[in-house]
Each structure stands twice: as C-alpha cells, then as structure tokens.
Amino acid sequence: MREMKNIKIFALFFMVIGLFSSCEDELDPKVPSDAVGPELLSPSGGGSYVLEKVNEDQVFATFDWTEADFKLPVVVEYALEVDVQGGDFSKRNILLSNIETPLEISVSDFNKGLLAAGFEEGTAHDIQVRVVANHELVTEPINMTVTPYFDVDSWTVIGSAVGGWNPENDQYMDYDKEAGVYRLTLDLSPGEFKFRAPNKDADNPWAFNLGLDGDPRTIFDEENVVLSDGGANIGTTGGNYTLILDVNAGTFTIIQNEAPELTDWTGVVLDAVGSGISSDNPDATADGSSWNWGNVLVADNEGAPTSSAGVYTWTWEGIILEANEGFKLRTLNGEPAPQNEIAFDLGYGALDVDNSSELVVDADGNLSVTEKGEYDITLVVDAINGDIKTVTITESAPATLYMIGGTIGGWDWAANSIEMIPVHSHENLYWKIVWMEAGTDGFKFSPVMDWGDDFGMAEDLGGGEYSFGGDNISAPVESGYYMVVVDLEAEKISVVEPEVYLIGDAVGSWDAANEAAKFTIDNANEKLSFQGTLNNAELRMYAWHSYFTDWWQSEFMIFDGNIEYRGNGGDQDRVNVDAGDYIIDLNFKNETGSVTLQ
C-alpha cells in the first residue's frame, strides 16, 4: 500500500511539472530561425538634441518600422528601448511600450522615458534607441546625443493682460529648481490674469488654475499674495513685471520693473454743463465758469471716476435733462485737471449712438434730448487705447413698477396695485407671480402708483407675449397663477404659466430648471407645491423665465411663513432643513408659504 501511494505522488509530481512545461512553451515559444525582425525606417539617427520644457507638446521624432514576422500565430507587441551607446540593452530600459507604427513621440514623453531610465537632466548623453518586438526581435539601434530637462508641471500666465484667455495666449513660466518656484518677466497690458497648468489635465486646461483668494483686485508690487484654486482674477494697470509663483505654498509675488506709460485719470472731476441740465436736479447749480452756460452738475462719486485696468468711468445716474436744450461733458469748469493737466469737453461727436437712446440728438455739436426726463449718462476714458472717450446716454429705468387692473382685483392704485419684483442685475426686468381672474377687463403697468406714464399692450405677439402700447392686456381664458415679466428695454410683456424650482444641495443638484425639483401648480387650491425628499442642507428656491439668465436673480425664500424676495438685494438669510420627506406650499395671492416635514 505504501509503495502504491509513493507511485501516485511521483505521478502527480510529474503531471504538474509537465503542466508547467506545457504552459511555458505556450507563453514563450521558441522563435523560429526564419522569423523576420522589424526594420527601423525612420528616424535615421545622429544629431544632438537639447530637450526643453517649453516644447514638451511638440513631436520629438516619428518612429516608423516594418512589422516583425514570427512565423507563428502570436500577437506581436512593440516597445521602444534605450541604452547608452555601446551598451547591450541588457537593462531593458523601456521608453514606451505597447506602441504601433508610425509612432509620434512627444518631447515630454521622450524626456520622461530618459529620466525613468536613469539619465540625469541637464547633461548630454550619448544614447542608442531601438524598437523591439515581444522582447525578441529588434531593429538596428540608432545613435543620438540628448540632454533631458528637469520635468515639472508647466504653469502659465493667461488673461486679458497677456492678450486673451485662449490657449494661444498662455505665457509659459520658467521653473527655478533651486528655489522650487516658477518665474517669468514680461510686459502686461492693463487687464487681468491668472495662473494655470494647461497640460496637467488633457481634457480641461482650466482644471488646475490659481487666482486671488478673495475678491478681484489690482496689484502693483506685493509679496506672497495668497492664491486659491479657481480664485479671482488678478488686475494690473500694465507695465513690465516679474512674476514669481510658488505652487506648493499657494502664493505669488509681483514686482513692477517698469510702470506703464498711461494717462492717470484718478481723481479727475468732471461735470455736465449747459441749458439742457435741468434745475430740477437737486444738486444742479448755475454755471459759474467762464462758459456761463445754463446749469452744471458734477458726476456721481463727487465727480471722480471708478477705474479698472486702465479704463476710467464717470456716471450721472438719473440726471434730469431738459428737452431740446444743449449740454456737454467736460473737466471741472472746463479747466485742466490738476491731476494730469488735461482739459476736454465732449459733445455729440463722442456719443455711442448704437447703445444710446433714440431720444438723444445732435444740437449743433452739443448733446440734447427730445423729451425731458431722467437719463443715465456714462463717460468712459480708455487710457489703454490712447484715452479714447465714449459717451453713452440711456433713459433711466424706473426704480419701481406696478401692476393694476380688474384681472388682479381692481383699478384702485391704493387698494389693488401690485409692486413688481426687480430681476437682480437687470435694471430693465421685473417679474411677479400673480393670481388672475378670467373674464375681467385686463391690466396695465406704471412706474408710479398713478396714471400718466402707464402702459399696456399694442400687439399680441403670440405665446403670451405682448408689445408695449396703450391698450389693456386681456385677462386669461382660465383663472389661476401666471408669471408676468416686463422687459422695459425690449418693450415686451410676457404672461406665461409660472415655473418655480428648488436648487442646491437640498435637492442634490445645482442645475437650473431641474424638472425633479419643480413645483406643481395647484390652481384648485390656489398654491404651488413641491413634495419630495430633501437632504440636510440650505433651502434655495427661485422663479424662472426665458428672459432670465441666472437662477439666483429671481430667488425668494420663506421666512416666518411669509414669502420674501431677493430683488436687487444681497444674499438672503439661509434656511436649513433636516433630511427627510417634505411638502412645500407657496400661496402667491397672500405671499405666504410653508415647509412641512412629513
């Protein structure tokens, strides 16, 4: 019995040995003597190359070879090998594997392969390169001399200060290996810039970018400015600068080597003067200058401009202008400004006609308007482009807008009018969700709670849209909630079914107009409702319309059971909800709402 057992063990041992031998023969077959190796067609070899980081995306060389023929049914895989000249490739230093012919190898990949093979950066190396098939059949090697570089991520300066925000505007910085920082000395135009590593993510050149930690600001000379991922743009007034970026520390230093040769308009006071400047302006005074022409009114901000990257802006918001009377814009009293010893006055020739009101006309070279009223005047001096001066005059948007009519309850201003909600950042847009009664005598709008400047419709444009005119806008066919939006600039009114949404972490998405977070219109119960599961997060809700551009510009919130609108204000106080199933009801008739955990 013992002898038979030993025989079985030995038999099993030889079976295992045979199995391994069989597997080894299949995985690594002997290369037939008539196998044909690959032949390298290009490059031809020779030459001396100094690789540079700035050229990392360029093609170093294109390797082209004939296919190897093993005379066996095997899959052929190729690799690019490197060794010192005179070496036998016994170390099997692979530059690239799993390659196909023709192979375009970039400066970056060739450099990385050399560093990985142990070739020191900054030193010229005599090397030989060959293509190998399945670690068996090889091409004749080619010789060359190559100096690799120290490889780090490329960081660039990009922005309007260097010509634009497109890839062709990337200004590559030099890496200081000893200090561990990036440096670049360059001319900056007045504008903005940021830092980015455009090649770190092949799909998104902005995946890694650094800007100011906090709000945008203009910087001249400053050390160790704190940066943050995706931070704010960095402003500059132009000139020659040295920029030093420390990616690891998240800071940069900016040194101004030479100031820009631009006119400085900081603090220069301007005024508007002429018989067209109405004495109804509270701060208007009689012109006491040598011009002795009508009234004078200094610009907002005590006459001084705001500035950004070499562009200076003066405004007169809500200035009252008389009809058919002339006026000009000038340096204070028409005299040279003490800040730069420059004087100017501007008339109709400086007007941006395309972007100004049609009521602005030429009065013998002076500016004038055909209707008395409130206007917004903007004067821009572009110091970057030779102090070009541009004037824009538009009719002032009303500070308020009211809706009135039998469709919303009656025609009594005190008892029935509804104040519209301004759309944030759009002074000519107003909105409101209102309850409308069918079969009534329509509605109109007015910037004040009175008649005179009221308006309704002229033409039904279809799709619930109307052009401005004097007729009442008709009541809807069915009673219920409607979203009313007034565009004062386009002179259009829209009346459509309301769209109200939740947004943010509470619903797990910051996508606008998300159907999963939309409120349902329940006209039978005079409310809009949302029913669903919310996460533990801040509650954010808003009304949406095709005229709008950003959801937060028509945001609102429920506080103590009342709906309060953001309008033109800042962020509203936050309301947090715990995770759970909720019903949120909104009653826009009485401006109330509720958030109920189920």
Q: Is residue 17 part of a domain?
A: no
Q: Using 50, 70 and 90 to split pLDDT, how confident is the model at 577?
A: very high
Average pLDDT, rounded, for the chain: 92
Last residue of a domain, one of 147, 182, 203: 147
Pairing of strands 171-172, 402-404: unpaired
DSSP state of 477: S
What lies within 8 Å, CB to CB, of 551 at 6+ separation is: 501, 503, 512, 542, 544
* pLDDT above 80: residue 230: yes
Q: Between vectors from CA 290 to CA 285 and to CA 292, what angle results, nearest 5°?
A: 45
In this predicted model, what pLDDT tens digit does every residue of 314-364 receive, in sequence order? 999 999 999 999 999 999 999 999 999 999 999 999 999 999 999 999 999
Q: What is the dihedral of CA 355, 358, 363, 366, to 10 degrees?
A: -30
282/295 Cα distance (integer angstroms): 11
Q: Return the half-sphere exposure (C-beta side, CA atoms, 13 A cut-off) of residue 333.
A: 7
Domain match, 275 and 378 both: yes
Q: Is residue 175 part of a domain?
A: yes
DSSP state of 93: E
What lies within 8 Å, CB to CB, of 265 at 6+ separation is: 305, 307, 312, 337, 339, 340, 381, 383
Give the phi and the psi of residue 50 in degrees, each rounded to 5: -110, 110
Last residue of a domain, one of 395, 425, 452: 395
**Reduced to 3 states, what is the DSSP secondary structure of residue 584?**
strand
557/577 Cα distance (integer angstroms): 13
Domain match, 285 and 390 both: yes
Query: What is the identity of the amino acid at 305?
Result: P
The answer to pTM > 0.85 is no
In this predicted model, what pLDDT tens digit does every residue of 447-464 receive, in sequence order? 999 999 999 999 999 999
Share of the chain above pLDDT 70, in %: 95
Domain match, 492 and 503 both: no
Q: Is residue 6 part of a domain?
A: no
Mean pLDDT for the stretch of residues 89-98: 91
Q: Is residue 32 part of a domain?
A: no
Q: Using 50, 70 and 90 to split pLDDT, how confident is the model at 557?
A: very high
In this predicted model, what pLDDT tens digit does every residue of 45-57 receive, in sequence order? 888 999 998 898 8
181/179 Cα distance (integer angstroms): 6
Domain match, 205 and 142 both: no
Domain match, 384 and 293 both: yes
In this predicted model, what pLDDT tens digit does every residue of 395-445 receive, in sequence order? 998 889 999 999 999 999 999 999 999 999 998 999 999 999 999 999 999
Q: By residue range, what is the domain housing residue 514?
A: 499-597
Number of structural domains (the chain) is 5
Q: Using 50, 70 and 90 to split pLDDT, how confident is the model at 9?
A: very low
Domain match, 275 and 380 both: yes
Q: Is residue 3 part of a domain?
A: no
444/474 Cα distance (integer angstroms): 9
Domain match, 506 and 490 both: no
Q: Is residue 9 part of a domain?
A: no
Domain match, 489 and 504 both: no
DSSP state of 233: P
pLDDT value of residue 504: 96
* Strand ranges in 113-202 using DSSP code E only, listed in sequence order: 125-133, 137-138, 142-147, 156-158, 171-172, 174-176, 181-188, 191-196
CATH assignment of the domain containing 338: 2.60.40
pLDDT value of residue 190: 80
* Strand ranges in 134-267 using DSSP code E only, listed in sequence order: 137-138, 142-147, 156-158, 171-172, 174-176, 181-188, 191-196, 209-212, 217-218, 222-229, 234-236, 239-246, 251-258
Last residue of a domain, one of 102, 130, 147: 147
* pLDDT above 80: residue 72: yes
pLDDT value of residue 309: 76
Whether 64 contacts 80, CB under 8 Å:
no
410/260 Cα distance (integer angstroms): 63
Pairing of strands 103-106, 78-84: unpaired
**Reduced to 3 states, what is the DSSP secondary structure of residue 231?**
coil
Domain match, 168 and 91 both: no
Q: Is residue 34 part of a domain?
A: no
Domain match, 254 and 274 both: no
CATH assignment of the domain containing 212: 2.60.40.3620
Q: Return the half-sphere exposure (C-beta side, CA atoms, 13 A cut-off) of residue 197.
A: 15
Domain match, 489 and 514 both: no
557/570 Cα distance (integer angstroms): 13
